[in-house]
Amino acid sequence: MLSGVEPALARLAEAERVVDELGDERLRARIDYQRANIHGRVGDLASAWDGLEGAVRRLDAFTERERCSVHLSRGMLAFELLRPQEALESFAEAARLAHDLGDGAQEFMARHNEGYAAYLLGDIPRSLADMAGAEGIEADVFKGPARLDRGRVLLEAGLVKEAVEALESGVAELSTDGHDQIRAEFELELARAHRLLGHLDLAAEAAESARETYGRIGATAWAAKAVLVGLLVDLERQRRRAHPRQAPDRESAPSALPGSPRTPTPDRENAPSPAARVGEDDARAVARAAAGTADRLSEAATELGDSELADSARVVAAQALVLAGDVEGAQTRLLSLERVSTGSLSDELDAAAVTAETFVAAGEPVPARRLLVRASRRLAAGQEGSASLDLRTARAVHGARLAELDLELAVPRGSAAVLDALDRWRSATDRLPSLGRPDDEELAALTEQLRGVRGQVRGESDPGSVRELNEHASRLERQIRDRDWALSRSGGAAHAAPVRVRDARAHLVDVDRDHVWFFRHRGRLGAVGIVGGRATLRDLMPVERAAELAQRVRVDLRAAATHHLGPLAGAVWSSLRSSAAELDDALLRPWRSDRGLVIVSCPEVSVLPWAVLPSMRGRPFTVAPSLTSFARRGLAGAPRGAVPECPAEVHVSVGPGVPRAAAEAQAIVGTWGPWARLVQPSRRDELVSALGRPGIVHVAAHGTHQVESPLFSSLVLHDGPVFAHELQPTGVSADHVVLSACEVGLTTPRPGHESLGLALSLLSLGARSVVAAVAPVPDDVAANTMTRHHELLAEGLPSDEALARAVAETDDVAAAFLNLGGQHHP
pLDDT attached to residue 253: 40
Confidence of residue 398 (pLDDT cuts 50, 70, 90): very high
Look at residue 433 and tell me whether its pLDDT is greater than 80.
no
Strand 621-623 with 596-600, pairing: parallel
**What secondary structure letter does DSSP report for 623?**
E
pLDDT of residue 490: 56
Query: Measured between alpha carbons, how far is 569 from 566 in angstroms, rounded to an integer?
Result: 6
**Residue 266, pLDDT above cutoff 60:** no
Which of 304, 315, 322 lies closest to 219 in space, CA to CA?
304
Confidence of residue 269 (pLDDT cuts 50, 70, 90): very low
Q: Are strands 736-739 and 696-700 parallel, antiparallel or unpaired?
A: parallel
Beta strands in 546-639 (DSSP E): 596-600, 621-623
Residues 131-168 pLDDT 10s: 888 888 888 888 888 999 999 999 999 999 999 999 99
Q: What does the pLDDT look like over 359-378, one tens digit per residue?
A: 999 999 999 999 999 999 98
Q: Is the pLDDT of residue 249 over 50?
A: no
**Are 623 and 633 within 8 A, CB to CB?**
no
Which stretch of 194-203, 251-260, 410-419, 468-477 has the lowest confidence by average pLDDT?
251-260
**CA separation for the pair 628, 633 (Å, rounded):** 9
pLDDT mean over 83-103: 85
pLDDT band at 120 (very low <50, low <70, confident <90, very high): confident
Q: At residue 435, what is the residue type?
A: L
One-letter amino acid for residue 818 of the chain: L
Q: What pLDDT is recorded for position 697?
A: 97
467-520 tens-digit pLDDT: 999 999 999 988 888 888 887 655 545 556 678 999 999 999 999 999 999 999
Q: Are strands 720-723 and 714-717 parallel, antiparallel or unpaired?
A: antiparallel
DSSP state string for 502-561: HHHHHHHHHTTEEEEEEEEETTEEEEEEEETTEEEEEEEEEHHHHHHHHHHHHHHHHHHT
Tell me what pLDDT residue 460 has: 84
Tell which wins on pLDDT, 388 or 574: 574
Over residues 675-699, the pLDDT tens digits come to: 999 998 999 999 999 999 999 999 9
Rounded Cα–Cα distance for residues 731 and 301 (Å): 48
For the residues 83-88, what does the mean pLDDT come to?
79
Which pLDDT tens digit goes with each residue over 175-211? 777 789 999 999 999 999 999 999 999 999 999 999 9
258 burial level (CB within 10 Å; 0-12, 13-18, 19+): middle
Cα–Cα distance, 821 to 760 (Å, whole number):
8
Please tell me which residue, 237 or 620, carries the higher pLDDT value.
Answer: 620
Strand order in the sheet with 534-542: 534-542, 524-531, 513-521, 596-600, 621-623, 817-820, 769-773, 736-739, 696-700, 650-654, 676-679
Please write the tens of the pLDDT for every residue from 520-579: 999 999 999 999 999 999 999 999 999 999 999 999 999 998 866 777 888 999 999 999
Task: Determine the pLDDT at residue 247.
Answer: 35
pLDDT greater than 50 at residue 245: no
Q: What is the mean pLDDT of the chain?
A: 87
User: 396 vs 194, 527, 731, CA distance in Å?
Assistant: 17, 22, 21
pLDDT over 80 (residue 282): no
The predicted pLDDT at position 563 comes to: 65
pLDDT at residue number 267: 41
Which helix (DSSP H) or strand (DSSP E) does residue 678 occupy? strand 676-679
Secondary structure (3-state) at 700: strand
The helix/strand/coil state of 652 is: strand
HSE-up of residue 475 (Cα within 13 Å, Cβ side): 8
Q: Position 48: which residue type? A: A
Strand partners, 715: 703, 722
Q: What is the pLDDT of residue 729?
A: 81
Please tell me what DSSP assigns to residue 770.
E
Tens-place pLDDT, residues 688-736: 999 999 999 999 999 888 877 778 888 999 988 998 888 888 889 999 9
630: closest CA among 597, 670, 679? Answer: 597
Supply the pTM of this predicted model: 0.85
> Which residues neighbour 36 within 8 Å (Cβ) at sequence distance 6 or greater?
47, 48, 49, 50, 51, 52, 54, 55, 73, 77
At 388, the amino acid letter reads S
